[in-house]
């Protein structure tokens, strides 16, 4: 991840910043998945042509798409990422203390490192399997 991208994610720790990412959000304010509720549930918008309603949590980095207009963003977040530290905190932004915000940032960094390492481990396992196959053909 580039420095710019990292800063971008760090800035997503405020609801206001997350809300500002929902420029191309395909659902209106009359739905239960309006951008205000999405931002309050910890999500920011990362959608594209292929996945027009893709969002990511600023702490657990879970990505979700395929939203239904009657979905509850907080409940969906909880169902798909029950381990999320933001979900566990279960507080509106105005109630979060500086210390708790600091902890969330620490968890975000741990989650980001875990995500990168998990990807590397999977790549390594794939390579190991390929090498094993080549070695077996030589035996």
One residue of 12, 57, 64, 104 binding Zn ion per CB under 5 A: 57
60 touching Zn ion, by CB under 5 A: yes
Which among 13-21, 33-41, 80-88, 111-119 is the span making contact with Zn ion, rule CB under 5 A? Answer: 80-88
- State the nearest-atom distance from the C-beta of 70 to Zn ion, in Å: 21
84 touching Zn ion, by CB under 5 A: yes
- State the nearest-atom distance from the C-beta of 61 to Zn ion, in Å: 7
Which CB sits closer to Zn ion, 36 or 63?
A: 63
- 43 conformational bin, left if phi > 0, alpha if psi -120 to 50, beta if neither: beta
Q: What is the CA radius of gyration of the chain?
A: 18
Structure tokens at 42: 């910890």
Structure tokens at 16: 């206001």
Give the interface size with Zn ion as a residue count (CB under 5 A).
Answer: 6
In our burial notation (b when 16+ CB lie closer than 10 A, e otherwise), range 46-84 reads ebeeeeebbbbbbbbebebeebeeebebbebbeeebeeb
Which among 66, 100, 96 is positioned nearest to 80, based on CA atoms? 66
- State the nearest-atom distance from the C-beta of 109 to Zn ion, in Å: 14
Which among 53-61, 91-99, 106-114, 120-128 is the span making contact with Zn ion, rule CB under 5 A? Answer: 53-61
Binding site for Zn ion (CB under 5 A): 57, 59-60, 81, 84, 86
């Amino acid at each position: 991840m580039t420095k710019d991208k990292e800063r971008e994610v760090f800035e997503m720790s405020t609801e206001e910043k997350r809300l500002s990412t929902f420029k191309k959000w395909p659902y209106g304010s009359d739905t239960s998945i309006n951008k205000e509720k999405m931002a309050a549930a910890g999500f920011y918008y990362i959608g594209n042509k292929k996945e027009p309603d893709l969002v990511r949590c600023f702490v657990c980095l879970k990505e979700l798409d395929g939203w239904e207009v009657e979905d509850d963003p907080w409940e969906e977040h909880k169902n798909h990422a029950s381990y999320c530290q933001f979900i566990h905190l279960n507080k509106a932004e105005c109630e979060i203390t500086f210390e708790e915000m600091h902890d969330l940032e620490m968890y975000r960094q741990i989650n980001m490192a875990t995500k990168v390492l998990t990807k590397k481990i999977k790549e390594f396992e794939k390579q190991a399997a390929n090498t094993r196959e080549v070695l077996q053909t030589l035996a």
